[in-house]
Amino acid sequence: MTSKNDSLDRERLALLAAFQLSIGYKFKNVDLINRALTHRSRTNEDPQNRGNNERLEFLGDAVLGLVVAAELFSKLGDKAEGDLARIKSIVVSEDTLADIALEIGIDSLLLIGKGEERSGGRAKKALLADAVEAVFGACYIDGGFEKAKTLVLRYLVPEIEKVLENRHRKDYKTLVQEYAQKWHKSTPTYNLHTKSGPDHDRTYAMVCRLLEVDYGPAEGKTKKEAEQKAAALAWEAIVAAGGLEAERLLSLKKL
């Protein structure tokens, strides 16, 4: 009888075995973890490939959300619903999951198409975050909820602790917007300064305009990334000014 794993070459199987060892979970069906690490751009180009990670990502997103929500509910009984929701939104964010993907080496294991490869797909946060969720979904299918819960908590509990200790990556656009609205009844704007590079590999430079002052330009591979970096420059200037307003707002962001 032919095994499901026979279609995977020995090199790929070895890489997947090392990955499973590193995350602390051994799949009974290795095809599942291989699919979790396969982007749809690969299946579009490779007719021999038997599926991509989109459905697993959908399932993993639900598993991740439930596990993190339950953990927060259990461990932070003194927090209001709004605080729990804010912590959860940070912990399961694209930025956080992309960082986890890099930490466990998903960027090098991800199977992507040639076009996606040329456009820097291995470094795209959305692809990396989706792959992490797909791994969680694959673990749920392969081993059940408790195994998936253990895997999720292994990587997300440290992220929860970062938020509680205010060591997490800040959403500077939100910080700047709340500062402007709360203290100046104003709203920051973001304008495209320049864009460069070919269509498949653009670099954007954005400027954050706050209270008639421009901060930037700051560059990113997407407009969203460049806006965050420009907002970070604005926030640094606000805090550096030493104003009571900035310090008070900063304290509001701590739990």
Asked about 46 being catalytic, the answer comes back as no
Rounded Cα distance, 251 and 134, in Å: 36
Taking 90 as the threshold, does the pLDDT of residue 48 lie above it? no
DSSP 3-state of 195: strand
Per-residue pLDDT, 242: 63
Q: Where does the pLDDT of residue 64 fall: very low under 50, low under 70, confident under 90, or very high at 90 and above?
A: very high
Read off the pTM.
0.71
* Annotated catalytic residue within 61, 71, 142, 159: 61
CATH superfamily, with its number, for domain 4-164: Ribonuclease III domain (1.10.1520.10)
SS3 content of the chain, % helix, strand, coil (to 5): 65, 10, 25
Beta bridge partners of 208: 190, 215
For residue 45, what pLDDT is reported?
75
pLDDT digits (tens, 9 = 90+) for 210-219: 989 999 999 9
CB 38 within 8 A of CB 116: no
* Closest alpha carbon to 155 in 85, 106, 82: 106
11 is catalytic: no
**Max alpha carbon distance in the chain (Å)?**
72
Point out which residues pair with 213 in neighbouring strands: 210
**Beta-bridge partners for 214:** 209
Ordered by start, the domain boundaries in the chain are: 4-164, 172-253
Residues in the chain: 255
Q: What is the pLDDT of residue 4?
A: 46
**Pairwise CA distance, residues 219 & 222, whole Å:** 8
Which one from 31, 71, 130, 133 is the annotated catalytic residue? 133
| pLDDT at residue 244, as a whole number | 42
Cα–Cα–Cα angle for 121, 95, 150, nearest 5°? 105
Task: Give the tens place of pLDDT for each residue, 86-142.
Answer: 889 889 988 899 999 999 999 999 999 998 888 888 989 899 999 999 999 999 999
Domain 172-253 has CATH 1.10.530.10: no
